[in-house]
Amino acid sequence: MGQALLKVKDAMVTDLVVVDEDVSVKEAVERMNDFEIGCLHVMSGEKVFGILTERDILKRVVAEGRKPEETLVRDVMSKPLVV
């Protein structure tokens, strides 16, 4: 007998955790830690504008020596959001 394939719907998260584009990276990281997730969808008003990932933080904040408490999410997030 063949193995049953895992469907995306069985592994995906259905509740989005979001952050506003104008918050600091430090605040965003605290939110990621609270929910034990590796990315946040970034909102601009009522619209999803981009995504902030652990890689974005490592590449654009840590590696560049920026201060997370002074760096805004909108300045380091990945955009546009491709779905």
Q: In CATH, what number is assigned to the domain containing residue 52?
A: 3.90.1280.20
Do the domain assignments include residue 30?
Answer: yes
Q: How confident is the model at residue 2 (pLDDT cuts 50, 70, 90)?
A: low
Domain that holds residue 65: 16-76
Tens-digit pLDDT profile for residues 49-74: 899 999 999 999 999 999 999 999 99
Is the residue at 81 inside a domain?
no
Would you say residue 5 lies in a domain? no
In this prediction, residue 22 has a pLDDT band, given cuts at 50, 70 and 90, of: very high
Is pLDDT of 4 > 80? no
DSSP readout, 45-75?
TTEEEEEEEHHHHIIIIITTT--TTTSBHHH
Q: Rounded to an integer, what distance in angstroms lies between the CA atom of residue 63 and that of residue 66?
A: 8
Q: Could you tell me if residue 10 is inside a domain?
A: no
Q: Is the pLDDT of residue 13 over 90?
A: no
The burial of 27, by beta-carbon neighbours within 10 Å (0-12 exposed, 13-18 middle, 19 or more buried), is given as middle
pLDDT recorded at residue 1: 55
User: Number of folded domains in the chain?
Assistant: 1
- 3 falls within a domain: no
Tell me what percent of the residues of the chain surpass a pLDDT of 90.
69
